[in-house]
Amino acid sequence: MVVRFWGTRGSIPVALTAPDVKRKLVSALVKAAGRNLDTPEKARAFVDAELDFAVSHTFGGNSSCVELDTGGPDYVLCDLGSGARVFGNHVLASRGPSGQTFHVFMSHVHWDHIMGFPFFMPAYLPGNRVRIYGAHAVLEEAFRRQNAAPSFPVDFSRMGATIEFVPIEPEREYDIASLRVRAKRQRHSGDSYGYRFSSAGKSVVYSTDSEHALTDLDETASFVEFFRGADVVIFDAMYSLADAISVKADWGHSSNIVGVELCQMAEARQLCLFHHEPVHADEAIERLLTETRRFEEITRGDRKPLLVTAAYDGMEIGL
Ligand SMILES: [Zn+2]
Ligand SMILES: [Zn+2]
């Protein structure tokens, strides 16, 4: 299984600005001073080996959309944030306009998680099938409303693909697209649902837009059980711990620190920080990642190391 990230930003898409690009260029040029980088090959090797991630890359700006590539014929996605636009164009370019089936598991219907659908080209093309799974009663209504006048020019009824809304119940096991799937209700405004996917002995948890009260021991135990032994936990780490327990308590999101604690208790293998705060520049997200790794190290005790990564648009995790 390969996990592929098409959108990793929380709440609203963001773009790199001209000052951002200039800051990266200036850092790279200063670091390259005195080096004889007179061919693209030498320059590329320098960029790969010697520049910080925040200088040579960007975490990216699209909102939540994650693909689980099982190697099967159907596509599997979590959420349809603005990253779904880029994913849809990739599908058209690589597999052509029709004949595809998409299984989409929705955490919830907040705008940042559905806003890519009006720009998801395969949904307009006859011969494609889109099955949208979710536990919210308002699932279909939310999608229809965002494609309706006066907010959007093309009505939902004019989308040419076969689009089905499939209700699922939390805490029940389903077999869909060669994956075993279970949903879990999470603490968030209007509720959100996390998903645990398993296939061929590997498991991935997608848990975004979820606030945790570690003081609630039953709730904590239920998440530890949900994350138990997962190969990857994709986790809402929008806030730092200080944010999460002060001004932004009850805003429905979690922190990097809570992610480490839950994954350590669950003996998960990898924590992948996700749903990045839109005000954070690349340097701030990289700093959060470094701090999270340090926190994992000093709290590890005699447990196995927990790998900590931060998702970026275009990142792949092979399992
Ligand atoms: Zn969100
Ligand atoms: Zn939300």
For 150-201, the pLDDT digits (tens) are 999 999 999 999 999 999 999 999 999 999 999 999 999 999 999 999 999 9
In angstroms, what is the span from residue 226 Cα to ligand 2's centroid?
Answer: 20
Closest residue by Cα to residue 87 from 6, 31, 29, 194? 6
- pTM reported for the whole predicted model: 0.96
Give yes or no for a contact between 139 and 114, defined as CB atoms under 8 angstroms apart.
no
Q: Which residues surround ligand 2, an ion (CB under 5 A)?
A: 110, 209
In angstroms, what is the span from residue 62 Cα to ligand 1's centroid?
Answer: 11
The ligand minimizing its distance to the Cα of 188 is 2
In angstroms, what is the span from residue 26 Cα to ligand 1's centroid?
Answer: 33
> Which is it for strands 65-69 and 2-7: parallel, antiparallel or unpaired?
antiparallel
pLDDT tens digits, 54-92: 999 999 899 999 999 999 999 999 999 999 999 999 999
CA separation (Å) from 208 to 70, 98, 236, 271?
Answer: 21, 31, 4, 12
Q: Dihedrals φ, ψ of 139, to 5°?
A: -55, -55
Task: Give CA–CA dist 304/295, Å, rounded.
Answer: 14
In angstroms, what is the span from residue 209 Cα to ligand 2's centroid?
Answer: 5
Output the average pLDDT for the chain. 96
Give yes or no for a contact between 108 and 193, defined as CB atoms under 8 angstroms apart.
yes
The ligand minimizing its distance to the Cα of 13 is 1
| Number of other residues whose CB lies within 10 A of the CB of residue 99 | 12
Task: Give CA–CA dist 31/138, Å, rounded.
Answer: 52
In angstroms, what is the span from residue 132 Cα to ligand 1's centroid?
Answer: 17
pLDDT tens digits, 211-238: 998 889 999 999 999 999 999 999 999 8
Whether omega before 150 lies within 30 degrees of 0, making that bond cis, reads yes
pLDDT band at 208 (very low <50, low <70, confident <90, very high): very high
Q: How many residues does the chain have?
A: 319
Q: Is 125 helix (H, G, I), strand (E, B) or coil?
A: coil
CA separation (Å) from 213 to 65, 188, 273?
Answer: 26, 11, 18
The ligand minimizing its distance to the Cα of 275 is 1
The ligand minimizing its distance to the Cα of 276 is 1
Q: What is the pLDDT of residue 254?
A: 87
